[in-house]
Amino acid sequence: MKRLKHLFQRNLEWATGIKEANPDFFTDLSRQQAPDYLWIGCSDSRVPANQIVDLPPGELFVHRNIANVVVHTDLNCLSVIHFAVNVLKIKHIIVCGHYGCSGVKAAIDGKPHGFIDNWLCHIKDVSRLNYSKLQGLSQEDKCDKLCELNVLEQVKNVCQTSIVQNAWRSGIELSVHGWIYNIENGILRDMDTCITSLEQFSERCGEI
Ligand code: CO
């Protein structure tokens, strides 16, 4: 148990099952990855990127952190976006939040949470920026609304990166999407905030 043997057993069964269905699957995949999508989502164990959109290995490039935040100076996230856009040539960046996000809840519950409070300041910023939209709501509704507003804000942050803006300036086809996932029923919702050009971003920046 100490060496987590059960996980290796599950891995063996998984890989064997895939090879039985498609003997060349791993050989083909080992030669290259050519995903069309970059997924920026929450680390929450209930929101597994590939499974939610039912895509096999090789189809989704993934970055996850607590509360799916895109911080202007986060070298980790920026490197992922850079690699996805400039090397993998992905066509779509999806920011996917989810209702009931523990990170969002913790950001507005008024209690101290230790080190993570520094990261949650980014969510508190979203709350502050949208004060009028959140005012008067119950704590539960406020959390759900903030989960949505956080997606919109992080879409904006993706669009503000030099990587995405340079791609648009170079005429590269690139769309940035905002989605939200419901952990209670497994359903994804498009928040209709897709941005595909610098002009569109400038026009809509005030709205989102
Ligand atoms: Co979350």
Could you read off the pLDDT of 73-124 as tens digits, one per residue? 999 999 999 999 999 999 999 999 999 999 999 999 999 999 999 999 999 9
Q: What are phi and psi of 100, to 5 degrees?
A: 70, 25
Domains of the chain by range and CATH? 33-204 (3.40.1050.10)
| Position 206 pLDDT exceeds 90 | no
| Position 131 pLDDT exceeds 60 | yes
CA distances (Å), origin 49, targets 40, 52, 68: 9, 6, 12
Structure tokens belonging to residue 39: 């997924």
SS3 201: helix
C-alpha gyration radius of the chain: 19
H helix runs in the chain, sequence order? 5-21, 25-31, 49-52, 75-82, 102-107, 117-129, 131-134, 139-160, 162-169, 198-204
Residue whose token pair is 């090789």: 58
- The pTM assigned to this predicted structure is 0.95
Residue whose token pair is 């050009």: 197
Percentage, residues of the chain above pLDDT 90: 95
Known active-site residue 189: no
Cβ atoms of 39 and 33 within 8 Å: the answer is no
Distance CA 194, CA 204 (A): 10
pLDDT in tens, 43-58: 999 999 999 999 999 9
181 Cα: distance to centroid of ligand 1 (angstroms):
10
Known active-site residue 101: yes
106 Cα: distance to centroid of ligand 1 (angstroms):
10
> Is 1 or 9 the better-scoring residue by pLDDT?
9
16 Cα: distance to centroid of ligand 1 (angstroms):
32
Question: Dihedral of CA 206/110/134/195: which sign?
Answer: positive
H helix runs in 22-99, sequence order? 25-31, 49-52, 75-82
Known active-site residue 192: no
Residue whose token pair is 């009931």: 100
Of the listed 101, 143, 147, 159, which one is catalytic?
101
Cβ atoms of 158 and 107 within 8 Å: the answer is no
pLDDT of 204: 84
Hey, what amino acid is at 193? T
Known active-site residue 42: yes
Of the listed 63, 98, 122, 177, which one is catalytic?
98
pLDDT of 1: 63
Of the listed 46, 92, 113, 204, which one is catalytic?
46
SS3 196: coil
Residue whose token pair is 């599950």: 10
Instruction: Give residue 208's pLDDT band: very low, low, confident or very high (50, 70, 90).
Output: very low
101 Cα: distance to centroid of ligand 1 (angstroms):
4
Known active-site residue 44: yes
C-beta neighbour count of 146 within 10 angstroms: 26
